Amino acid sequence: MKKLLIALGAALALGAQAAGTAGATGQWPEKAVNIIVPFPAGGSTDTVARAMAQSMGEQLGKPFVVENRPGATGTIGAGAVRRAPADGYTLLVASLGPFVVTPHLVKNVPYDAARDFDYITVPVQAPNVLVASPRQKARTVAEVIAALKANPGKLSFASSGNGSSDHLSAELFWQQTGTEAMHVPYKGGAPAITDLLGGQVDFSFQNVNAVLSHLRSGKLHAIAVTGTRRSPVLPDVPTLEEAGVKGAEVYSWQGLAAPRGLPADVKARLAKAAIAAVNQPDIRKRFVEQGLEIVGNTPEEFTRFQAQENERWKQLIQARKITAD
């Protein structure tokens, strides 16, 4: 009889615990959800996060509030998310940098990208585009390669910073074409584009959405895109592969993640809302017009993608001896 009572008590306790857990996660969200963007306001990642936040808040009935925490190439904000409770109330929207690049460039990063996050979805991606300054005469990939080989290490490529997708695109391009150039890192894409427009630097691989208006106005010239297919907003611009450079495909992407240990039902609801957000007609139209491509993959797909991207950029960074300095 005593054993029966003990077993009955244990069963009741487990049932109460399960009910409590189900109630806790089933009620999510009960308050505002904080989305940390580890970059300044106004950039591509911030724009994506704010569009998603508004839609997700409308879908789930509670505000999704974007908080910018820039610094240390995105690691300050990412580290703050890593330390937050895994309850669905603190999320991270970041570019590929903090997820798969910076951990290989910076010592003592305050998180382990492979172990400390639950990956929810990649909402959007965009190829980079190789652009020439107004003073440059090169108009094709073959002409760029010829100019680089005729002036090894002398022509300059601007980037938004060491380890950025535009920097890595250039490194991959040089590796695959057997060329070298001078890398000129800036503190962000805006000053790099300004100097490119002014002719202070020769070339750059820039996010399509960042230079689209300058390409359409003729202030910059598009030579090739880094995607696996032509960009819908630049249909006349070939891919690098079409121009004879293989193995140099690069996409800049944004990802939505949370601290590791997110309850399964919360993760599922977040993923569903995020994917619905980027496929909302007005948001989708706005993003596509800016040169972004809608992805909206599942948590499982994003997790596999993060691992693949992490290994790819780790190998390039080591092979090219890229540093954060």
**Inter-residue long-range contacts of 241-247, CB under 8 Å, 24+ positions, other chains counted:** 243/140, 243/141, 243/142, 244/141, 244/142, 245/141, 245/173, 245/176, 245/177, 246/176, 247/172, 247/176
CA atoms lying within 13 Å on the CB side of residue 235: 2
Can you list the domains of the chain with their CATH numbers? 32-126+251-320 (3.40.190.150), 138-225 (3.40.190.10)
Burial class of residue 136 (count of CB atoms within 10 Å of its CB; 0-12, 13-18, 19+)? buried
**pLDDT at residue 23 in the model:** 38
Burial class of residue 25 (count of CB atoms within 10 Å of its CB; 0-12, 13-18, 19+)? middle
* Alpha carbons 176 and 27: distance in angstroms, whole number: 52
Predicted confidence band of residue 171 (pLDDT cuts 50, 70, 90) = very high
pLDDT in tens, 219-236: 999 999 999 999 999 999
Predicted confidence band of residue 282 (pLDDT cuts 50, 70, 90) = very high
Predicted confidence band of residue 281 (pLDDT cuts 50, 70, 90) = very high
CB atoms within 10 A of CB 4: 8
Calculate the average pLDDT of the chain: 91
pLDDT in tens, 37-65: 998 888 889 999 999 999 999 999 999 99
Cis amide linkage into residue 29, ω under 30° from 0: yes
3 pLDDT above the threshold of 90: no
Burial class of residue 321 (count of CB atoms within 10 Å of its CB; 0-12, 13-18, 19+)? exposed
**pLDDT above 70 covers what percent of the chain?**
92
Mean pLDDT, residues 126-147: 96
Smallest CA-to-CA distance from 123 within 35, 228, 213, 29 is with: 35
CB–CB of 215/129 below 8 Å? yes
Beta bridge partners of 157: 183, 203
Provide DSSP, 61-110: TS-EEEEE---GGGHHHHHHHHHS-SSSSEEEEEEHIIIIIGGGTSTT-S
First to last CA, the chain: 72
CB–CB of 100/307 below 8 Å? no
**pLDDT at residue 26 in the model:** 54
Smallest CA-to-CA distance from 99 within 314, 313, 306 is with: 306
Predicted confidence band of residue 163 (pLDDT cuts 50, 70, 90) = confident
Tokens of 155: 């022509």
150 pLDDT above the threshold of 80: yes
* Strand pairing class (117-132; 293-294): antiparallel
**pLDDT at residue 188 in the model:** 81
